[in-house]
Structure 1
Amino acid sequence: MESRHDGGNGTLRLRRFGTILGAIGLTVPAITVGAHAAAVACGGGVSTGRVAVNGCVSAQRGSVGRITTREITAHIKARNTGTRGLNVSYEAFFRVVDGGHWVKLGSGRAYVGPGEAIGPAEVGSTTRVCGPVKVEIRVHARADGAAWSNWSPASTRQCQT
């Protein structure tokens, strides 16, 4: 990266560099804070009324004695696109992709101010014995008086590093 000014090209390079850094910041997964922080990966967005929703998942390694486990946590990100605050209810479900059935992990409720966002906020978690399987979570939400959104899924390999 050059720091000299050469007829505007150096300034242009700085702008490009800033744009690239900004784009990287938008695409890097959010990180939860804690002693053993795990990356949070979010799936595609859905919406209901004035609320945009993303389902997110994180997986943290652990163990019970000699058995390796994985703590799988469902999260939600919700954004109020309107000009008034909303109470938002949400639910998260979990399954093992091959042959599993959906199990409710948790639910919650939060106030989201006008133009504001929450999350990733933990909705629920489950501890599983490690295996070579893919797991999936799905999250949906609704604002007071609105219909439930479609599902926003996210998935992870249960015991990847």
Structure 2
Amino acid sequence: MLKRTGAVVAAAAVAALALPADAHAAAVACGGTVSTQGVSGNGCISADRWKDGRVFFRTITAHTVLTNSRPHATGVEYEAYFRVVSGGHWVKIGNGRTVVQRRSAVGPLAIGSTDRVCGPVNVKVQIRVHIRPAGGAWSNWSSAATSQCQT
């Protein structure tokens, strides 16, 4: 029952993140869930369009939702990397840590962001997130992608 409650809380948090803050905000895309030692994380990406003079930009932000199914609170570290899918290399855009209470979820937590100039084509960008509970091993990667300059 508690695992189901945690899953519902995490799903609600991701759904709340998916609602745009204003007319220029793009939707959030979430990847699959990864887990390690009783802690799971979901990587999500958002792209917020803005303009400086005549040039359009996107702020790409990586997020995570963390769920702890352990019977005690635990500290969790997380990292996010970014790349342009066509020929880009992975660049770290942020990291952090937080305490997740027993059998609960936190987030979405913004991990880091990067600003990109919108080019002539709708370039696909990707983030990847992984997590590590205190004293544990890093999880696999949870990836998410979006088009950089969608309208």
Q: Same fold (TM over 0.5)?
A: yes
The aligned counterpart of 1:8 is none
Consecutive unaligned residues of structure 2, counting only runs of 5 or more, are 1-7
Question: 1:63 offset after TM fit, Å?
Answer: 1.3
Q: TM-score, normalised by structure 2?
A: 0.83
| Residues 50-95 of structure 1: per-residue CA shift (max 9 Å, x gap) | 1111100001000121111011000011100111100000000000
Q: Is the partner of 2:28 in helix, strand or coil?
A: strand
Q: Is the partner of 1:39 in helix, strand or coil?
A: coil
Question: 1:30 offset after TM fit, Å?
Answer: 2.9
Tell me how far apart the structure 2 counterparts of residues 65 and 125 of structure 1 sit (CA, whole Å): 21
Instruction: Report the more deviating stretch, 33-42 or 150-159.
Output: 33-42
| Residues 24-66 of structure 1: per-residue CA shift (max 9 Å, x gap) | x86x843368566553221101101111111000010001211
Cα RMSD of the aligned pairs, angstroms, is 2.1
The aligned counterpart of 1:30 is 16
Runs of 4+ that moved beyond 4 A: 32-38
The aligned counterpart of 1:90 is 78
Tell me how far apart the structure 2 counterparts of residues 155 and 56 of structure 1 sit (CA, whole Å): 8
The aligned counterpart of 2:114 is 126
The aligned counterpart of 1:5 is none
Tell me how far apart the structure 2 counterparts of residues 37 and 115 of structure 1 sit (CA, whole Å): 32
Tell me how far apart the structure 2 counterparts of residues 30 and 134 of structure 1 sit (CA, whole Å): 23
Q: TM-score, normalised by structure 1?
A: 0.78
Mapping for residues 63-74 of structure 1, pairs under 5 Å = 63-74=51-62
Cα–Cα, structure 1 residues 40 and 84, in superposed 2: closer, same or farther, change >3 Å? same
The aligned counterpart of 1:152 is 142
Determine which of 55, 78, 97 is the counterpart of 1:109: 97
